[in-house]
A and B are shown apart, each in its own frame.
Chain A
Amino acid sequence: MNITIEYYMILSAFMFVVGIAGVLTRRNAIIVFMCIELMLNSANLTLVAFSSYLGSSVGQLFVFFVMTVAAAEAAVGLAIIIAIFRNKLTVNIDDINILKW
């Protein structure tokens, strides 16, 4: 049996969908963020797999930048959560519904 690229892609798709399900269903804002990180990682896996099978470094370079952006996003997002927590004393998403009609 040979590991072809489809295996990596399916694993990545699986992790991505799990991440989507987590984003859509969890009530805790921090866990939602973690699921977003999971989704980003699945994208990284696809990129690295293609880079390896194509023999090009560009994919891994892209992963480098994705990691950078993910780090920045995680920092800012958590800062926002802290700011919201100061006002509402909760991180339950159901209670943060100011955008309601």
Chain B
Amino acid sequence: MRELIYLTVALPLLGFLINGIFGNRIKNEKVIGLIGSSTIGISFIVTLLAFFETLSLPTDQRQLIVSLFTWLKVGGLDVSFAYQVDQLSLVMALIVTGVGFIIHVYSIGYMHGDKSFWRFFAYLNLFIFAMMNLILADNFVLLFLGWEGVGLCSYLLIGFWYDRRFEKSTTADAAKKAFIVNRIGDFGFLLGMFLIFLTFGSLNFNEVFSRANTFSVSTATYGFIALFLFIGATGKSAQIPLYVWLPDAMAGPTPVSALIHAATMVTAGVYMVARCSIIFASAPDIMMVVAIIGIMTSFFAATIGLVQNDIKKVLAYSTVSQLGYMFLAMGVGAFGAGIFHVMTHAFFKALLFLGAGSVIHAMHEEQDIQKYGGLKRYMPHTAITFLIAALAISGIPPLSGFFSKDEILWYSYSNFGIIFWLAGVITALMTAFYMFRLYFLTFEGKERFGHNKHPHESPKVMTVPLIVLAVLSVIGGFIGIPEVFSGEHGNQFHNWLSPIFADAERKIMQFGFHTHFAEILLMVISVLVAVASIFFARYVYLKSPIIAENFSKRFAGLHKTLWNKYYVDEFYDAVIVNPIVVVSKNVFWKFTDGKIIDGLNHFIANLLDSLGASLRKFQNGIAQFYALIMVFGIAITLFWIIMSF
């Protein structure tokens, strides 16, 4: 079954082609939805079977390369369309196909009645195709193909409702922003790839990583490679400084936000760093950079999320913040923990987004939480699953988020020190706070919406996925129980992934003192902090909302700054975007393109025109004139002959 892993890539492509070409003619939504979802469903089954097959094999035989065809063979570069089935790619593939399938089913209900229903499913399938290529690739070039592909699908899907406008921009602007900011990161990624090829002579993962062990390469080179790769990751996974596209990407339909901007695409950067763990491990300075950027982004985004009023924007900043956690894990050397958090985050973040979508649908596209309130009565399923997800993301045991987040905090403490742990805990505090602010303002308390809205529970096709994800959010953590609790079994998740990261971890060798007591103590502290935060949120938003108002009035300046996202977008606009636009318009467009290039064209055209006009006079139809020219030619010929005497 593992050899058939290419089906997981081919089937979504097939779904895209069928829905893309014939979707317009298939009038039945159910058929389109069926085609779109079943391709992913079958891919999930294939992945699952491959997973079980791999599980039964001994550790050293778990990697399998399935090569389809040779793609590029030029010079020293040999790149094939080949898929690497190993522990890491299987984990990611399970997440993508599993959560992807759930979201596809949900979309059948969410996008009901949309005039471009077929186009949505076509793009979703295309996205899964690109993402699977990214995850399963066995070389950098194929990974980059998937990388660019998911960027493209992100653009297509964010701008799906292309005729919608907001106050200051359109969905097209948001889509363009996502694509362009991604491109900036991709430039870094490309530089990293070039440097890798230059240093190691190959772009194949196995070859590069084995050579990373044997070749003697300077730390500076590793540093540059890692730095460039990380720049690519910041673009795709929305870290500082390239996170600005993610909040704007909420202009797209909610299933898109759930799938792409929560569960899968944004984790591509984390996956890439995990895959290249040996390179990062060989550049300790860059690991520090990664960790710092991770925790800074996490903290920073959480502060913005505290004051946002759009339900999807809160979730967007929450995503950025959680991605920061994953990069923090990567930076401190806890690669397995980072991937674990990818998995649990996929569950509860997708659940949160889908739940938000359910609410938005019920409230007829209203997204401002100040106009919600008391929806628990009308949509109980949504409310319960949303609560479960909020608990998970706040790190309350025994839900999944607790295990993954705590592991990251522990490794931050033991590898890098207390500052990182402290910043992480404060961020967790803020996470719990704004999450439950969101929950309480939406589902509990007084109803603040007008009488024209009649909220109702969503249909089964939307609530069943919510329930499935809720179950996963609850039990998903148990495969990653740390050794503290599971004793001789060890951390299952870790053991599964450890062969991938073995080389890198050997290089780091920083696993500091490890007492069970310290780990449990820190765990308890973070849980208490989270619980306290939840109760505080409950107090503020449920019992006496006046506290929030007073607070925001007293710290009006701070509140305004946070609400305006620290003016980062405005800063980028002023410093980077507007100068480029002005220069492009006036220098490149008007002058270089208009005057020089067009001028050259006009000049050549005019030259030929006048040349033609003057040569035309030689064709006046009078034979004598032609004879005159001939005699002239004879004269010249005679002259030449005479000259040669």
CB distance from B485 to the nearest CB of A (A): 97
Which of the listed residues B619, B621, B628 has the most CB atoms from chain A within 10 Å of its own CB?
A: B621
Contact B621 A24 (CB under 8 A): no
Contact B616 A101 (CB under 8 A): yes
Contact A100 B627 (CB under 8 A): no
- Residue B56 at the A interface, CB < 8 A? no
Contact A24 B627 (CB under 8 A): yes
For A24, what are the chain B residues with a Cβ–Cβ distance below 8 Å? 624, 627-628, 631
Contact A100 B619 (CB under 8 A): yes
The 10 closest A-B pairs by CB, nearest first: A100-B621, A97-B621, A99-B621, A101-B619, A24-B628, A101-B616, A97-B622, A100-B620, A93-B624, A20-B631
For A96, what are the chain B residues with a Cβ–Cβ distance below 8 Å? 621-622
- Residue A72 at the B interface, CB < 8 A? no
For A101, what are the chain B residues with a Cβ–Cβ distance below 8 Å? 616, 619-621
CB distance from B559 to the nearest CB of A (A): 80
For A25, what are the chain B residues with a Cβ–Cβ distance below 8 Å? 624
For B642, what are the chain A residues with a Cβ–Cβ distance below 8 Å? none
User: Chain A contact residues (Cβ within 8 angstroms of B): what range?
Assistant: 10 to 19
- Residue B623 at the A interface, CB < 8 A? yes
Interface residues of A in 20-39 (CB under 8 A from B): 20, 23-25, 32
- Residue A6 at the B interface, CB < 8 A? no
For B623, what are the chain A residues with a Cβ–Cβ distance below 8 Å? 93, 99
Contact A99 B619 (CB under 8 A): yes
Given A24-B628, A93-B623, A101-B619, 11 other A-B residues pairs in contact with their CB atoms under 8 A: A23-B624, A23-B627, A24-B631, A93-B622, A93-B624, A94-B622, A96-B621, A96-B622, A99-B623, A101-B616, A101-B621
CB distance from B618 to the nearest CB of A (A): 9
A25 to B620, CA, bound (A): 15
CB distance from A36 to the nearest CB of B (A): 10
Interface residues of A in 46-101 (CB under 8 A from B): 93-94, 96-101
Interface residues of B in 590-627 (CB under 8 A from A): 616, 619-624, 627
For A32, what are the chain B residues with a Cβ–Cβ distance below 8 Å? 624
A97 to B624, CA, bound (A): 10
Sample 29 A-B pairs with CB under 8 A, ordered by A number.
A20-B631, A23-B624, A23-B627, A24-B624, A24-B627, A24-B631, A25-B624, A32-B624, A93-B622, A93-B623, A93-B624, A94-B622, A96-B621, A97-B620, A97-B621, A97-B622, A98-B621, A99-B619, A99-B621, A99-B622, A99-B623, A100-B619, A100-B620, A100-B621, A100-B622, A101-B616, A101-B619, A101-B620, A101-B621
A101 to B620, CA, bound (A): 6
For B627, what are the chain A residues with a Cβ–Cβ distance below 8 Å? 23-24
A54 to B431, CA, bound (A): 121
CB distance from B453 to the nearest CB of A (A): 78
A69 to B616, CA, bound (A): 35
A101 to B621, CA, bound (A): 7
CB distance from B20 to the nearest CB of A (A): 53
A35 to B619, CA, bound (A): 24
Interface residues of B in 142-177 (CB under 8 A from A): none
A96 to B622, CA, bound (A): 7
For A97, what are the chain B residues with a Cβ–Cβ distance below 8 Å? 620-622
